[in-house]
Amino acid sequence: MEVMIKEMEKRLDDRQIFDDQVAIYDSVSNQGVQTLVNDVAEIHGVDVNVYDTSGTLHVSSQPVIYTENFLSKKMDPRAFYFLNKQHQVQHVQQERLAHISYMSSYAPLRGKDGIAYAYINIPYFLSQQELKQEISNFLVTIINLNAFIFLIAGVIALFITNRVTRSFLLISEKMREVSLGKTNEEIDWKRNDEIGGLVREYNKMVNKLEVSAEALARSEREGAWREMARQVAHEIKNPLTPMKLSIQFLQKSIDNNSDNVKELTGKVAKTLVEQIDHLSKIAFDFSQFANIGNTNIETFDINDVIRSLDNLYKTSHEGELKLKTVPGKVMVRADKTQMNRLFTNLIQNAIEACNGKGKCAIELNEVQTDGVIQISIKDNGEGIPKEMQSKIFIPNFTTKSSGTGLGLAMCKGIAEQAGGRIWFETKMGEGSTFYVELPVAN
């Protein structure tokens, strides 16, 4: 409004179109004012109305509104009062055109003498709509900006999260691969960040673990050798004692010229042979236990091994073996000699468990399901006491006075090397059942 007032006052200053505050103008001068108003309205993009000092419209950039009587050609009374009576330099008020509400600004045009010779009016019909549009555009811009910021933040967060997650997945994968039985690799991490600190601690742990594994393996080997030496010494010492006593007794009898020296010599010889056989069995048991890892893997029918044992024990008076195998061949992949040794040990243990119960009855049954063959060996002995059940498969543990304690430990090793397993069920007074489960070869 201020810019337009200055421009119109400058351009109307030389025109004498108003005289004594009454509009006295000719068609030429009125046409000039009309052109001026149209130019100013077009330059500033607004509508312009010019009233004389009595409040009558003279020139408008939108004359149709007034010629068609949409609006009165008289100036709004409130605006006229504030400008003409109150002498305000500018007045803004809200007006209505039907249901349209708009802002309208008024100001006087003054000559060089400072006296108002006309009133200029700018009705801003689109102000409310444009204000709402500007607010709407502003809100849309803010929403789009926030959405863009959230999108960028989400992408950055996803990138950082994936980077951190990949780092932790790498560390997790390496931790899963940590094992005492192999050389563990360190993680190569060149960045000096928080994850780098975690990686360094992991690498330290790997190095310490390798040292600890070597120390543990060395300690286990030394412990195993010490235990083996102790067991061998103990087992050898047992038969040596009666051998020494027998020879000493024979020597004393010879020195005393006893009459039964010949008979006594026979008894001592028999004792020595029995103890030598016992020493030979001890050596054989330890040799078998030491050679479990030396296997000759082949595919064979496990029923051939079991039938050979059946034929062997048919001629034995130690017990009765009842055999129930599945029809046809059952092919397994293992060491045939060790399988023979496995079932021989189990049957022999079953026979020894029946001592003191009269006739020994051994039942051997086969059940084939889901790609495995399950072989059970049941005896009618006294069963295994509860306090001994957890130690049955431990090397050097035995319930017999003359055993090495390696039989069942060897059986367990043979079964596991063939990809199977061994376990037992027992009930005091009713005997025990040992189960061997082996995978069937395709």
The tens digit of pLDDT for each residue in 377-422 reads 988 888 888 888 887 877 655 555 445 556 787 788 888 888 899 9
237, 257, 289 - which closes a domain = 289
Query: For the whole model, what pTM was predicted?
Result: 0.42
Q: Which domain holds residue 313?
A: 296-439
Whether residue 7 sits in one domain with residue 120: yes
Structural domain contains residue 212: yes
Query: 109 CB contacts (<8 Å, ≥6 apart)?
Result: 5, 8, 9, 12, 50, 116, 117, 118, 119, 120
Q: Which residue has the tokens 């950039």?
A: 61
- Please tell me the predicted confidence (pLDDT) of residue 24: 36
Whether residue 399 sits in one domain with residue 282: no
- Please tell me the predicted confidence (pLDDT) of residue 153: 93
The number of distinct structural domains making up the chain is 3
Whether residue 342 sits in one domain with residue 424: yes
pLDDT digits (tens, 9 = 90+) for 202-227: 778 777 777 777 777 777 767 766 76
- Please tell me the predicted confidence (pLDDT) of residue 78: 92
Whether residue 218 sits in one domain with residue 334: no
Give the residue-averaged pLDDT of 362-386: 88
User: Looking at residue 50, which CATH number applies to its domain?
Assistant: 3.30.450.20
Q: Could you give the C-alpha distances from 362 to 23, 326, 347, 377, 382, in angstroms and in order? A: 141, 18, 8, 7, 13
Structural domain contains residue 36: yes
Structural domain contains residue 242: yes
> Which segments within 297-350 are labelled E, that is strand?
297-301, 320-324, 331-335
**The two three-digit tokens of residue 364, written as one number:** 């051997």
Task: Provide the total of helices (H) and of strands (E) in the chain, helices listed first.
Answer: 11, 14
- How much of the chain, in percent, has pLDDT values that exceed 90? 11
125, 141, 169 - which closes a domain = 125
